[in-house]
Amino acid sequence: MDYIIECKNVTYSYPLAEIPAIRDLNVSIERGKFYGVIGENGSGKTTFCALLRGFIPDFYKGELQGEVLVEGKKTTDYGGELSAKIGYVFQNPFTQISGVKETVFEEVAYGLENFGVPVEEIERRVVDVMQMTDIESLAEKNPFDLSGGQMQRVALASVIVLEPDILIIDEPTSQLDPEGTESVFAIIKTLKEKHKTIILVEHKIDLIAEYADEVLVFKEGRLIASGDKQELLSDLSLLEQGAALPQVAILGSRLRERGLPVSRIPVTEKQAIE
Ligand code: ADP
């Protein structure tokens, strides 16, 4: 199996924390798959993301046991190259915008400039990504003079343009209206079609059901379940443990429990209609 990321016996505590934020984590991430990460607030999802991109223990310090491997190499043995391999999209796009560029075009180009990419290549890649993320009409606007959905698309563009193999996206739609959410997921769908390895933290379980291949469920710092979304999102025992499941899956499972011949439990509305 081609694992792009592996966590082996990982336990991590933030400095001065009494209990670990991540406990006994063993998980392997397959290249090219889309993982949805779910769990209650404080269950360790953001800490998990920080572990994968090497921010733990480098930035947050604290005590790390076990190892996190990206393409077979420990995150602690990487220098700056890890940030070229793993793109991270923040929950709040304000955090992503550099604040030093006056137009959206320059903002999207900024990371490539920092990596010393030749000017013609920067132009080409920025134009392509702006088209893909549907922000061409915003090229001359100030990055802070945008709606939430537009700003999140710019934030995504500024990461995608770096062509990372792995994208970690932390609740990209938590501050967006349905229209903004739809436009962001149109981009995520394109990334999926390009077979990027995607790790998405998302509260909206219906979006996980629609887009993810695999689901990881965290609770109190532990990975309590992981596996194929179809099976996992119809497992009612997870509901008892506090995990959100799609309404159609809950209904399908309950109908089956009552003896109705439901051949496959639907996890999306589309599947339910079929
Ligand atoms: P989630 O993303 O699922 O909401 P987090 O990974 O943010 O969960 O948090 C996991 C645990 O670690 C929580 O108990 C939280 O309070 C704690 N925590 C998160 N960030 C820090 C930090 N920078 N310093 C200390 N404790 C933290």
Take residue 186 and report the two structure tokens written for it.
């149109």
The complex's ipTM? 0.99
pLDDT, mean of residues 173-184: 89
Q: What is the pLDDT of residues 192-241, one digit of tens each?
A: 999 999 999 999 999 999 999 999 999 999 999 999 999 999 998 998 88
Q: Is the CB of 41 under 6 A from ligand 1?
A: yes
- Cα of 47 vs centre of ligand 1, distance in Å, is 6
CA pair distance 227, 219, nearest whole angstrom: 15
Does the structure show a pLDDT above 90 at 79? no
Q: Is the CB of 3 under 6 A from ligand 1?
A: no
DSSP string, 215-227: EEEEETTEEEEEE
Q: 13: Cβ below 6 Å to ligand 1? A: no
Tens-place pLDDT, residues 20-38: 999 999 999 999 999 999 9
Residue ranges of the chain that CATH labels 3.40.50.300 = 3-232
Measured between alpha carbons, how far is residue 39 from residues 106, 146, 169, 257 in Å?
37, 31, 15, 25
CA of 223 to the centre of ligand 1 (A): 15
Ligand 1: atom nearest CA of 39 is 3
Ligand 1 pocket member 229 (CB < 6 A): no
Contact 7, 66 (CB under 8 A): yes
Instruction: Tell me the C-alpha to C-alpha distance, in Å, between residue 171 and each of 6, 46, 65.
Output: 22, 10, 27
- Give, using CA atoms, the residue closest to atom 24 of ligand 1: 14
Structure tokens, 27: 């998980």
> Is residue 242 pLDDT above 90, yes or no?
no
End-to-end CA distance of the chain: 33
Q: What's the CATH number for 3-232?
A: 3.40.50.300
What's the whole-number mean pLDDT along residues 31-59? 95
pLDDT at 263: 79
Can you give the pLDDT at residue 99? 87
**Which ligand 1 atom is at minimum distance from the Cα of 40?**
3
pLDDT at residue 262 is higher than 80: no
Query: Ramachandran region of residue 49, left (φ > 0), alpha (ψ -120 to 50) or beta?
Result: alpha
Distance of CA 136 to the CA centre of its chain: 24
* 59 pocket-lining for ligand 1 (C-beta < 6 Å): no
